[in-house]
A and B are shown apart, each in its own frame.
Chain A
Amino acid sequence: MPPRLSLGAHRAVSRAQTVRARLYVRRFASGSAASPETYDVVCVGGGPAGLSLLTGLRASKITSSLKVALVEGQDLQKNRLPHDASLDTFSNRCSSLTPASVKNLQDIGAWSHANTARIQPYQEMQVWDGISDARISFDWDSIHTPLTLRKPTQPTTIAYMIENVNTTTTLLSRLSELGGVDIFSPTKVESINLGTDTPSLDLSSWPILTLSNGKTLAARLLVGADGANSPVRTFAGIHSRGFDYNRHGIVATVRLGGPGRGGPNHKIAYQRFLPTGPIAMLPLPGNLASLVWSITPQLAARLKSLSPNDFSAMVNAGFRLSATDLDYLHTLEAGQAEEVAWREKHTPVDERSIPMKVVDVQEGTTASFPLKMRHADTYIGERVALVGDAAHTIHPLAGQGLNQGQGDAASLTRVIERAVQTGQDIGSLLALEAYNAERYAENNAMLGVCDKLHRLYSVESGPLVGLRSLGLRAVDAMGPLKGFFMGRAAGGV
């Protein structure tokens, strides 16, 4: 069987390395190389989704006998969050973990390993239209009516703000407690090919991975947790379709004037839909907050080039000033701070319904990334399953990307459990099709909703503005419907 794909060429490696990888493949294909080490599950990618899958497999009594490996190009140990990390600085890569994701992390025994001082639960969400100011607020107290009293056991937390490095460190701690995973890190996958058919064994349907350390692994099930440009997905010949939003997401860790209007025990997340894209301020411990601002690439480049003082002023303006004012401010090369201060005096705002003012930006945390919508045609192939960003990339406006990956990992763990219990080959399409059935439609719905929201709020004038405002106000007035939306946001509680 000829090699299907040389990943050496796919990666940004030197030409010499590429040639070496190809030569090695040829040698392997001719059958003269040492036979590969056989694994039940090889997971490529040690991000939150891949680690959650492996932890789930190791934590389950049913699947703990599987032989599993993790291949990660980065150094997992070096990238761990130190125990004594200062609470004055936070990573700019944060996610809003839903209660459903947290429950899964509890189920696999990982949550107790989390650095809780660096996790910020929030109890309220304020979302409003930047053009019409129509507003919807979410908190568990507002959704019950006299007929549907809030149960005492009902959670008050909408979601948990957590640095991605905290999530991965949490999972790595649990994984090392469980043991039994062969971790290859930092190790790159140089190529993936199908195995060979010998008289004793027919591995022609098995992916064989050649690693940068020279090892070869044969995978009964190869899991692609290797991100949006997933080499595993490419190997499997699965197309990923979608488009670029022509928007960049600016992220930064910012310091606010105080802990928030609800105090340290009632934290609020804010999101304002501007015609250029949503701007969101998500609470972190203390006076810190995580900014996510979706905006056109040109404006993103300019914002990133501003002085911290001007950048802070622009963020404050993003929550306070009109779209027209913002359009003007975006044209300035510098001096936004003074300009914003002057305009704020003439723009009345209800300070109780917007985030506290940004007073400082944590050095080195301002960054941006292009926003995309991508969805793989399927999450499974013969001996291949995709999880997380390898399967789908979503607009960040609902903060669902990481949660979808956690949902994928939990679902795939359950599907593998069922397959093991009934003696199925866990790499077979028959065993895996339940995973695709369970996750594809759900993720597709979430991708669609977030995409539609983005499009809806990109409109600056006309009847759509009126309609969407009417819709937002109507939902806000109806407790049960809001409860439904909040339940969905919380991960289907």
Chain B
Amino acid sequence: MAFRHPSRALRTLHHLSAQPPYRPISISRTPRIPQVSLKTPQRFPSMRSSHDSSKSSVDPTEVSHFNALASSWWDPYGPSRLLHLMNPLRHTFISRCLETTPPLSSSLPKKLRYLDIGCGGGIFAESAARLSRTESVTAIDPTPEVLKVAEGHKRRDPVLVQPGKLTYLNKGIEQLEQPKSEAEQYDIVTLFEVLEHVNAPAPFLEQILPHVKPGGWLVLSTIARTWTSWAVTNVLAEDVLGIVPKGTHEWRKYVNEGELREWFGKKGGWGSNGGMRTMGVVYVPGFGWKEVSGGEGWGNYFWGVRRDG
């Protein structure tokens, strides 16, 4: 897989014909016809398929991919710039989930425990750890090189090196020990720009859910699988503007907002009393990331779901 400046900020569809056999993405059981004609034969099996075992939720090619990104992760003008610019919006969205959702019977503590899954170089994990309302952040990523970058960067801030404040673990979610009590669960579990890199989203999410405390939130951001996201990222961002490094994303892995709602709705125990939140965002060159009402229907979006309790 050849790529110049890999980045997770936007996604590209590339070398479809050279891809290994097709990987499932649809989160619903109903096969769908994609809006973009692809070169390879299409098939949309359930995300519960046994295609990938749950032990390897993340594709090894993705891991090597982000290794190559490591050295430039914290360069504000490097290939990860779009991710850096997006980071404040993540907090905006989490604050909105916490502060403007009708409450449940159980309320969250004053100080919050975070679990950041797929933390990369630590852009979100560091910022979450600096917040005054944060008790601790545990951040995990299966890619060893970016974890080294994250550890190295953490040492540059005396606040972050305080014992127990920010802990990095070189693990996938499946290697993280399942919580035995509520005290080991997390108030906020985050999954930013990860879902679109996962081979089988449903088993992957199943691994995550036990870590969320009742009343706590699973917050993620990803990209809708639509013809606009394909056209914008593949044609515009990669070929025309050249701002998106090749090889970061695969459009077929994208998950739509409606699919998440449906999946969690069927699951039960999640999202009651208004506990499913969405925020569509779009990157406007020269202005940065902007919230766009309804943007989840055609591009990048944030999504949060609260565990009932």
**A425 cross-chain contacts in B, Cβ below 8 A:** 126, 130, 157
Interface membership of B101, Cβ < 8 A: no
Majority secondary structure, B binding face: helix
Interface membership of A418, Cβ < 8 A: yes
Interface membership of B91, Cβ < 8 A: yes
Residue of A nearest to B89 (CB): A422
Q: Do A423 and B130 contact each other (CB < 8 Å), given the known contacts A428-B76, A430-B84?
A: yes
Q: Check A423–B126 contact: CB distance below 8 A.
A: yes
Complex Cα distance, B92 from A429, in Å, reads 20
Interface membership of A205, Cβ < 8 A: yes
Q: Check A200–B155 contact: CB distance below 8 A.
A: yes
Most chain A beta carbons < 10 A, residue from B88, B126, B129, B156: B156
Q: Check A423–B128 contact: CB distance below 8 A.
A: yes
Q: Do A423 and B158 contact each other (CB < 8 Å), given the known contacts A429-B76, A430-B76, A430-B84?
A: no
Complex Cα distance, B91 from A433, in Å, reads 19
Interface membership of A65, Cβ < 8 A: yes
Complex Cα distance, B134 from A421, in Å, reads 12
Q: Do A201 and B76 contact each other (CB < 8 Å), given the known contacts A65-B132, A423-B126?
A: no
Q: Do A203 and B156 contact each other (CB < 8 Å), given the known contacts A423-B91, A428-B76?
A: yes
How many of B's residues come within 8 Å of A, CB to CB?
21
Least CB distance from B215 to A in Å reads 22
Complex Cα distance, B128 from A50, in Å, reads 29
Q: Check A424–B161 contact: CB distance below 8 A.
A: no
Complex Cα distance, B204 from A407, in Å, reads 50
Complex Cα distance, B156 from A102, in Å, reads 39
Contact with B along A448-472 (1 / 0, CB 8 A): 0000000000000000000000000
Interface membership of A88, Cβ < 8 A: no
Interface membership of B127, Cβ < 8 A: yes
Interface membership of A212, Cβ < 8 A: no
Residue of A nearest to B134 (CB): A423
Complex Cα distance, B129 from A422, in Å, reads 10
Q: In B73-93, which residues have CB < 8 Å from any A CB?
A: 76, 84-85, 87-88, 91-92
Q: Check A423–B156 contact: CB distance below 8 A.
A: no
Contact with B along A200-214 (1 / 0, CB 8 A): 111111100000000
Interface membership of B131, Cβ < 8 A: yes
Complex Cα distance, B129 from A202, in Å, reads 18
Q: Check B132–A205 contact: CB distance below 8 A.
A: no
Q: Do A202 and B155 contact each other (CB < 8 Å), given the known contacts A430-B76, A430-B84?
A: yes
**B85 cross-chain contacts in A, Cβ below 8 A:** 430
Interface membership of B41, Cβ < 8 A: no
**B164 cross-chain contacts in A, Cβ below 8 A:** none
Interface membership of B268, Cβ < 8 A: no
Residue of B nearest to A40 (CB): B159
**B129 cross-chain contacts in A, Cβ below 8 A:** 423
Q: Check B158–A38 contact: CB distance below 8 A.
A: yes
B residues engaging A (CB < 8 A)? 76, 84-85, 87-88, 91-92, 126-132, 134, 152, 155-158, 161
Extra contacts, 9 of them, besides A201-B155, A202-B156, A428-B76 (Cβ < 8 A), are A38-B158, A201-B156, A201-B158, A202-B152, A204-B156, A422-B92, A423-B91, A424-B130, A430-B85
For this complex, 20 residue pairs linking A to B, each with C-beta atoms less than 8 Å apart, are: A65-B132, A200-B161, A201-B158, A201-B161, A202-B152, A203-B156, A204-B156, A206-B156, A421-B91, A422-B88, A422-B91, A423-B126, A423-B128, A423-B130, A423-B134, A424-B87, A424-B88, A425-B126, A425-B130, A428-B76
Closest 6 CB pairs of A and B: A423-B127, A422-B88, A423-B130, A202-B155, A422-B91, A430-B76
